[in-house]
């Protein structure tokens, strides 16, 4: 089965700085890697995802990179804003694909100081 | 389009009682996933239902069970409640399997006293 490790567990940055969160996974057959943002009192929300046929994907201030050889993927947030403060989770599928369910990392609490 | 809805929002039960949590997926989504989010422990996978069948379960005891109805809504039952079952229980749905991502509901906060 899949195992997902995420670090750091907490991250504090100044507004305008960049933030990077890293995850590793164990199942080399995994081919889909989403990132979720969870704000206080809400369920996690999908913010970006990447499939194994690309190495990087960007959406405005958010980007995700994937290194399949090393089995790790990272979330990059540039020009951070106070509203980026939340808990971020990475995930990877069990069974390497569409027949499985997502296994989540333990989360990173990001604090953006004004 | 309505999102994933969960009820109740909050639930307080006494140790030893049973709890029933409900989830309605997004229209057209056939897969429902349940996760437990205890304080500081991230998202722990509980159960996955698709087309009315249990497809997979996580490392939880048998007193955690559930079902999926013909309209794809789902129910999570927790029997013989223990204090450590206190957590946020999240339901998610997906249209085409895990590779299309999940949409989560806001969760049910279960407190066992």
Segment B34-83, tens digit of pLDDT: 999 998 778 999 999 998 999 889 999 999 999 999 999 999 999 999 99
- Cβ separation A43–B107 shorter than 8 A: yes
Mean pLDDT of the residues in chain A: 92
Amino acid B4: pLDDT: 97
Report the largest interatomic distance among the alpha carbons of chain A, rounded to a whole angstrom: 43
Say which of B102, B103, B105 has its CB closest to residue A102: B102
Say which of A43, A46, A101 has its CB closest to residue B105: A43
pLDDT higher than threshold 60 for residue B99: yes
| Model confidence band, residue A54 (pLDDT cutoffs 50, 70, 90) | confident
Mean pLDDT of the residues in chain B: 94
Angle A41-A112-A42 (CA atoms, 0-180°, nearest 5)? 10
Question: Cα separation of B106 and A57, whole Å?
Answer: 27
Amino acid A99: pLDDT: 62
Segment (H or E) for A58:
strand A56-59
Amino acid B3: pLDDT: 93
Contact residues of A toward B, CB < 8 A: 31-32, 34, 36, 41-46, 49, 51, 89, 93-94, 97-107
Q: Does B1 or A58 have the greater pLDDT score? A: A58
- Cβ separation A43–B97 shorter than 8 A: no
Considering chain A, what percentage of its residues have pLDDT values greater than 90? 78
| Model confidence band, residue A101 (pLDDT cutoffs 50, 70, 90) | confident
Peptide bond into A8 cis (omega under 30): yes
pLDDT in tens, A9-18: 999 999 999 9
pLDDT higher than threshold 60 for residue A96: no
| Model confidence band, residue B1 (pLDDT cutoffs 50, 70, 90) | low
- Cβ separation A41–B97 shorter than 8 A: no
| Model confidence band, residue B2 (pLDDT cutoffs 50, 70, 90) | confident
pLDDT higher than threshold 90 for residue B96: no
pLDDT higher than threshold 90 for residue B10: yes
pLDDT higher than threshold 70 for residue A98: no
Find, in chain B, the residue whose alpha carbon is nearest to that of A89: B42
Q: Which residues contact A65 (CB under 8 A, 6 or more apart)?
A: A50, A55, A56, A73, A74, A76
Q: What average pLDDT score do residues B4-17 get?
A: 98
Q: Which two tokens stand for residue A20?
A: 């990077």
Amino acid B109: pLDDT: 97
Amino acid A11: pLDDT: 98
Whether the CB-CB separation of A75 and A87 falls below 8 Å is answered with no
């Amino acid at each position: 089965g899949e195992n997902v490790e995420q670090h750091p567990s907490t991250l504090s940055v100044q507004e305008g700085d960049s933030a990077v969160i890293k995850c590793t996974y164990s199942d080399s057959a995994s081919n889909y890697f989403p990132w979720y943002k969870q704000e206080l009192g809400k369920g996690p929300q999908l913010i970006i995802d990447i499939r194994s046929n690309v190495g990087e994907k960007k959406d405005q201030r958010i980007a995700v990179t994937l290194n399949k050889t090393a089995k790790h993927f990272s979330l990059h947030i540039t020009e951070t804003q106070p509203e980026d403060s939340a808990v971020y989770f990475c995930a990877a599928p069990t069974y390497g694909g569409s027949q499985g369910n997502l296994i989540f990392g333990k989360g990173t609490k990001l604090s953006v100081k004004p | 389009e309505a999102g994933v809805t969960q009820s109740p929002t909050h639930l307080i039960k006494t140790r030893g009682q049973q709890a029933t949590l409900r989830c309605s997926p997004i229209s057209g989504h056939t897969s429902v996933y349940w996760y437990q989010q205890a304080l500081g422990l991230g998202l722990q996978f509980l159960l996955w239902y698709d087309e009315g069948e249990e497809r997979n379960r996580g490392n939880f005891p048998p007193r955690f069970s559930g079902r999926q109805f013909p309209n794809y809504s789902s129910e999570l039952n927790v029997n013989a409640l223990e204090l450590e079952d206190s957590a946020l229980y999240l339901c998610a749905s997906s249209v085409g399997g895990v590779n299309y991502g999940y949409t989560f509901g806001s969760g049910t906060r279960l407190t066992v006293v």
